Amino acid sequence: MNESPARFDVAVIGAGVFGTWTAWHLRKRGQRVLLVDAYGPGNARSSSGGQSRVIRMAYGPDEIYTRWSQHSLLQWQALFRDIDRPELFQGTGVLWLLERDSPLGRQSLDVLARCDVPHECLDQASLARRFPQIEAPSGGWAILEPGSGGLLAARAVQAVATDALRAGVALRIAKALAPQGAGCLPALHTTGGDIIRADRYVFACGAWLDGLMPDLPGKRIFPTRQEVFYFGTPAGDQRFHAGALPIWLDFGRDYYGFPDIDGRGFKLAHDRHGEAIDPDSVERLPTPARLAAARDFLARRFPALSGAPLLSAEICQYENSANGDLIIDRHPGFDNVWIAGGGSGHGFKLGPAVGAYAAGLVLGEPATEPRLGLAAKPTSQQRQIH
């Protein structure tokens, strides 16, 4: 075996958005940090890979996520300014399309007002005037967040990792094995025969979390296959490009999407949880049935894109907790091991806040959000967070 010549204060397992930000915050607080990932920061197999992710403030009644989104957007933007990469945040605005009597919409308005988030409420007539390219549902309305937008996902994670490494975080490409024993974990082994020694460990390994935590009571992470399509917009037509159309969400019909950014095409993604996925081995090819359903939705909600050519597709995964809440907690079997995961399709935006909260727990700060603990999670799926 190859034992690491250095002993670290903290080893963070997983270099997705949660792991990189946790390592970043720990280093800022003076810790000697090792970041470990089987494939590298923001890789295509991870839930943090892909072209783009939404950052929005509306979360129904779940004020913690609105506040964490506010905090996170400021920190994303500050980092991008510091590294001269402002384009990694695309300030398109975010439009939430809602049914007539949507309780999530009404609850969101209350929380947005309480948190002083700039927003507009658009009735169907206003929506049609502002965004005539959208065929709004009868009686529907919308919430527009002009200050929200999108993050260029894989590139953003890699930028956080690069900044962390510049500050002194070490990176190792290796596949960790599940920790053995109980009490205090003395070391972590890898499939390559390496031994990693640290005083404390954070497992922020997304869809791989259950496999590395076999002693947790019940199944905690449910990775699902999610299909994303990029459609071509009509030649010379700017209505579906950033600047003319915001990022939009239509949770009543389980879709969300992006205007054309970087010439990739009009992004359309299915939000309903797909089939179970093995992130290591699955072949990431779109299915004819999901593509047909996406085209049907496109024809109804964006009629001018009916028949638009498919330019490309991505297969990513959600790593769902049972109810959609994040999981940030100490491992019940190890005194010096913490878990950060359960992004559940909405967590990417929250990376800076998750990293700050996880780093605080590791350094002895009290847990202030009991709903994020393992004890608050059921072990069968019942999605509650959107």
DSSP H or E stretch at residue 288: helix 288-301
Calculate what percentage of the chain has a pLDDT beyond 70: 97
Residues in the chain: 386
- How far is 320 from 378, CA to CA, in rounded Å? 12
Whether 79 contacts 168, CB under 8 Å: no
Q: What is the pLDDT at residue 292?
A: 97
The stretch 260-265 carries a mean pLDDT of 95
C-alpha distances in Å from residue 79, one per residue of 49, 88, 171: 19, 10, 20
Mean pLDDT over all residues of the chain? 94
- How far is 56 from 66, CA to CA, in rounded Å? 8
Question: Model confidence over 124-151: pLDDT tens digits?
Answer: 999 999 999 999 878 899 999 999 999 9
Question: Model confidence over 275-313: pLDDT tens digits?
Answer: 999 999 989 999 999 999 999 999 999 999 999 999 999
Cβ neighbourhood burial of 142 (10 Å; 0-12, 13-18, 19+): buried
The stretch 82-93 carries a mean pLDDT of 98
Whether 94 contacts 144, CB under 8 Å: yes
* Closest C-alpha to 340, from 241, 182, 204: 204
- How far is 382 from 385, CA to CA, in rounded Å? 9
* pLDDT level of residue 337 (50, 70, 90 thresholds): very high
- How far is 173 from 39, CA to CA, in rounded Å? 6
* pLDDT level of residue 384 (50, 70, 90 thresholds): low
Kindly give, in sequence order, each residue whose CB lies less than 8 Å from that of residue 343, ignoring residues fewer than 6 positions away: 17, 18, 47, 206, 318, 319, 326, 350
- How far is 163 from 81, CA to CA, in rounded Å? 12
The stretch 313-325 carries a mean pLDDT of 92
Question: Model confidence over 32-53: pLDDT tens digits?
Answer: 999 999 999 999 999 999 999 9
- How far is 199 from 346, CA to CA, in rounded Å? 31
Q: What is the pLDDT at residue 3?
A: 53
Q: What is the pLDDT at residue 28?
A: 98
Whether 139 contacts 132, CB under 8 Å: no
The strand ranges marked E within 146-252 are 149-151, 170-173, 188-189, 194-196, 198-203, 222-231, 247-250
Q: What is the pLDDT at residue 376?
A: 86
- How far is 349 from 56, CA to CA, in rounded Å? 8
Domains of the chain: 2-48+154-220+323-376 (3.50.50.60), 90-148+222-320 (3.30.9.10)
Question: Model confidence over 203-218: pLDDT tens digits?
Answer: 999 999 999 988 886 7
Whether 171 contacts 205, CB under 8 Å: no
Whether 204 contacts 22, CB under 8 Å: yes
Q: How is residue 191 written in tokens?
A: 């499939």
Is the pLDDT assigned to residue 2 strictly greater than 80? no
Number of neighbours of residue 377 by Cβ within 10 angstroms: 20
Whether 76 contacts 89, CB under 8 Å: yes
Q: What is the pLDDT at residue 10?
A: 98
Q: Is 73 helix (H, G, I), strand (E, B) or coil?
A: helix
**Which residue matches tokens 């190859």?**
2
* pLDDT level of residue 20 (50, 70, 90 thresholds): very high
**pTM score, two decimals?**
0.96
The stretch 164-178 carries a mean pLDDT of 97
Is the pLDDT assigned to residue 11 strictly greater than 90? yes
